[in-house]
Chains A and B, each alone.
Chain A
Amino acid sequence: MLQEKLQDVFNEPGCATNQAKSDKERKKGCSKALKPGAAAGGCAYDGAMIVLQPIADAAHLVHGPIACLGNSWDSRGTKSSGSQLYRTGFTTDLSELDIVHGGEKKLYRAIREVVQQYDPPAVFVYQTCVPAMIGDDIEAVCKFAAKKLGKPVIPVMAPGFVGSKNLGNKMAGEALLDHVIGTVEPEVTTPTDICIVGEYNLAGELWLVKPLLDEIGIRILSCISGDGRYNEVAQAHRARLTMVVCSQALVNIGRKMQERWGIPYFEGSFYGVSDMSDTLRTMARMLVERGADKAILDRTEGVIAREESRVWRRLEPYKPRFDGKRVLLFTGGVKSWSMVTALEGAGLTIAGTSTKKSTKEDKERIKKMKGEEFHQWDDLKPRDIYKMLKDSEADIMMSGGRSQFIALKAKVPWLDLNQERHHAYAGYDGIVNLCEEIDKTLSNPIWRQVRLPAPWDGKPGEA
């Protein structure tokens, strides 16, 4: 069953990369083969948690030995405006005896305890490697528990060893499509209801975008899954339009919602000035095409004009400060590239980028924007990055947390662009936040000091 689901996910017609492959290649799946001893990154279970855990009022119960939750809980920066239940870590903490006897009964008891003690609107149960190996039928347990306890109990079938984080994102999407979306009817609907997919409200980013949508008159009926509530996610099928944010990971939700309920979807981004404006325009246009009041078009243009002029005005003071500063951009996908225009607009020079996680189209797009000579590295080893920074080929590196210490140990400014970050960079205000963060770190006086030689290394008088 799991295998069928995986094949279904690998066969995603909504994914351009996938459609460019031959049948044989497609069957192998999208995850690149991992090289033992030289692999990095999270597993499928990790990916599934990233997508679903932001559903804040649900309980998230991990069925597995302690490593899966015990080593990972309380580490993600997704924010909720209400219920904080999603931050409580629940696990069956499988022991040796559970593995001998099977973990199904313990899982049922755990679900019952969570329901009785916390009364959440739903429980998500995450499958992990060990119970998958010993054959715990968690789908059956969830079904039984749901019936017995009168609450939705959703099995998430993404044990770590089936593949990468990205695959886990998709499997989480499948769990929502199979068990959640379409199970609750909203009390009221409006012609401007939308569903946002793949936005996790990291550092509260959604809250930089939502006021603009409110002003235009677009209602977020459900967000999958930033600042999410179970019932809102369950009524996503009544949205008039779906926006898919992180295109590669969750395009399956957008496409299947179109298939099942005829909801059109588009891929958009909240990062960067022009992408943000494009997103707002597309949203309004597509809603009007589906019968929403045309007035939102004008309101959208009004908001865009005001916000754009405001953002460029606010970026102006950074220009002289950023003049000649070179950025090394190490992060996959389009997300960061949406920001490039804005960063360049603020006076920064992009010195190069890695394209490890980028698709062919991404690379073409970058080439088009930056010209043939622009540095794009496919697989840069940490040692090479360190050397480039040491040789001062850039003034600042922007990347995910994993390469943080490559930059810091080379004594070069660094800024977090990935999910662990503490600052919100989405929307128009987000770009200003980003420039402020860059400026703060670039202008910090420590850089000169930490590069000084120790008294015993420098020439006399120098230190």
Chain B
Amino acid sequence: MGTLQRFPHSAKAASTNPLKMSQPLGAALAYLGVDRCMPLFHGSQGCTAFGLVLLVRHFREAIPLQTTAMDQVSTILGGYDNLEQAIRTIAERNKPALIGVATTGVTETKGEDMGGQYNSFRQRNPMLADLKLVFANTPDFAGGFEDGFSAAVTGIVEEVVQPAAATVKGQVNVLAGCHLSPGDVEELRDVIESFGLTPIFLPDLSLSMSGRQPDDFTATSLGGVTVEQIAAMGASEATLVIGEHMKVAAAALELKTDVRSIFFDRLTGLEASDRLVRTLSDLSGRPVPARLRRQRETLVDAMLDGHFFFSRKRIAVALEPDLLYAVTSFLADLGAEVIAAVSPTQAAVLEKLRAATVMVGDHSDVETLAREADLIVSNSHGRMGAARIGVPLHRMGLPMFDRLSAGLKVSVGYRGSRELLCEIGNLFLSREMDHDEHGPAAEDHDGHDKGHHCGGGSCGCSAG
């Protein structure tokens, strides 16, 4: 993706405690949001094993993920035979509706021609014509997780979506970026359906990665958007595009179907949620349901109750670009100062960040930049650095292996924004309460004004 501005990159030759994850892993996650899918890494078996373990630890779910098991010889001679054998084996054993291939550093360094291999495979395997095949170029040595996710979604659109003659009233597409958790997608479905609209999410992680209880064993993904639904996306009234990194897929979808795109840079925060709700009301021609009206009031109330704890708080955030943008913007909306925003990769959205320092770096950069911070927001890998500098960590993004239900966290819409606000607010609140209770006695309070410290007494402690 063309990036207009390059942000300062950590000058180190040794990336230390990496924040970045590889492109194929992002592609795998996108594929997992398609029903009866098997993601396949075209590379050495280790590429798959590591990705698998990371996703298993995050979601606490079985993760279907296969490998073309390239060895030294096939790497040098070319990987087509391995790829063909892998696809045939998976098709025969697991009967998937879609196989999503992601290349790796191994096959990309060799320069495997994926377009050519796609054509060869189709020619040589006419009996598998019904099987949907997506080949995404996702080299480990360029871009990162978000780019891989974007490449896979674009690939799915190009392979599966069909132009439609007629529009289905009330049907809307949602291109759901990787900054949306399965819980976020579920929340969006509720919101969209409450206007009587029928959403098709691509990908739909809420149906596959949210703790399903299968009746029988499945080797492929269980749940997610079906291939038939994706094919029918051409008949939708509009496409809601969530996140900058979904724009390429949105362009591909528009080109193929003429369905108009409506872009949302984020869905976290009051104004961002207002925009979503207004759009849905316009699309459906229906008034906003009472439940959403109540949720808006609750969010406004939480902002009023919580703003004491956010004002001028110094926060360092290190997340994948679009999530980084959503979270830093929301924190700024609440009066906090984002002192550092660290992204694992260059991305166009970084230009829009409101932060004192924006850089492309790793967790060790966060550790340096956050020494004076009141809070770090990052994935679970951030915990060791945060502990070393004694700054609390709020976990977001992926991987989050030391929390239950990592995939079901909600941070979009009125309800999700309120939850995020309260979770972070509670961290500040409990730290202040702890400080008061365990700190020095009132008379030698080293100049701290208790009332001021507790955020204008709103926590109730000034009454005591």
Closest to A386 in B: B217
> B14–A64 contact, CB under 8 A?
no
Chain B 276-308 against A: per-residue CB contact (8 Å), 1 yes, 0 no?
Answer: 000000000000000000000000000000000
Question: In chain A between 72 and 89, which residues have their CB closer than 8 angstroms to a CB of chain B?
Answer: 72-75, 87-89
> B141–A65 contact, CB under 8 A?
yes
> Which of the listed residues A45, A96, A129, A406 has the most CB atoms from chain B within 10 Å of its own CB?
A129
- Tally A-B pairs: CB < 8 A: 202
> Which of the listed residues A39, A71, A92, A110 has the most CB atoms from chain B within 10 Å of its own CB?
A71
> B45–A41 contact, CB under 8 A?
yes
For the residues of A in contact with B, the DSSP-based class is helix
| Residues A89 and B46 in contact in the complex (CB < 8 Å), given A37-B89, A71-B54, A161-B106 | no
CA distance A35 to B14 in the complex (A): 35
Question: In chain A between 383 and 426, which residues have their CB closer than 8 angstroms to a CB of chain B?
Answer: 383, 386-387, 401, 404-406, 409
Chain A contacts for B86, CB-based, 8 A: 36-37
Q: Which of B13, B140, B142, B381 contacts A109 (CB 8 A)?
A: B13
> A93–B381 contact, CB under 8 A?
no
CA distance A42 to B46 in the complex (A): 5
> B106–A72 contact, CB under 8 A?
no
> A89–B140 contact, CB under 8 A?
no
B113 within 8 A of A: no
Chain A contacts for B15, CB-based, 8 A: 66, 69-70, 90-93
B109 within 8 A of A: yes
Interface stretch, picked from B61-69, B186-194, B452-460, is: B61-69
> A67–B105 contact, CB under 8 A?
yes
> B62–A409 contact, CB under 8 A?
yes
> Which of the listed residues A92, A99, A160 has the most CB atoms from chain B within 10 Å of its own CB?
A160
Interface stretch, picked from B18-26, B162-170, B403-411, is: B18-26
> B46–A43 contact, CB under 8 A?
yes
Q: Which of A37, A109, A110 contacts B66 (CB 8 A)?
A: A37
Question: In chain A between 15 and 57, which residues have their CB closer than 8 angstroms to a CB of chain B?
Answer: 34-46
Q: Which of A72, A74, A95, A161 contacts B70 (CB 8 A)?
A: A161
| Residues A43 and B49 in contact in the complex (CB < 8 Å), given A67-B22, A92-B14, A94-B141 | yes
Chain A contacts for B141, CB-based, 8 A: 65-66, 94-96, 98-99, 130
Question: In chain B between 1 and 33, which residues have their CB closer than 8 angstroms to a CB of chain A?
Answer: 12-18, 20-22, 24-25
Closest to B84 in A: A36
What's the least CB distance linking B13 to chain A, in Å? 4
A198 within 8 A of B: no
B51 within 8 A of A: yes
What's the least CB distance linking A123 to chain B, in Å? 10
**Tally of contact residues, B, Cβ under 8 A:** 65
Q: Which of B14, B18, B87, B384 contacts A37 (CB 8 A)?
A: B87
Chain B contacts for A134, CB-based, 8 A: 109
CA distance A130 to B49 in the complex (A): 17
> B69–A406 contact, CB under 8 A?
no
Chain B 187-221 against A: per-residue CB contact (8 Å), 1 yes, 0 no?
Answer: 00000000000000000000000000110110100
Closest to A129 in B: B106
> B85–A91 contact, CB under 8 A?
no
Chain B contacts for A406, CB-based, 8 A: 62, 217
CA distance A98 to B364 in the complex (A): 22
Q: Which of A37, A64, A163, A382 contacts B105 (CB 8 A)?
A: A64
> A35–B18 contact, CB under 8 A?
no
CA distance A355 to B66 in the complex (A): 23
B119 within 8 A of A: no
Task: List the 7 closest pairs (A to B, CB-CB), nearest first.
Answer: A43-B46, A37-B86, A37-B89, A67-B22, A109-B13, A110-B14, A36-B86
* CB pairs A–B below 8 angstroms (9 shown): A36-B83, A37-B88, A37-B90, A65-B22, A72-B54, A75-B54, A95-B141, A110-B12, A383-B219
Residues of B participating in the A interface, judged by any CB pair closer than 8 Å: 12-18, 20-22, 24-25, 40, 43-51, 53-54, 56-57, 61-62, 66-72, 75, 82-83, 85-90, 93, 104-106, 109-110, 139-142, 144, 213-214, 216-217, 219, 364, 380-381, 384, 401
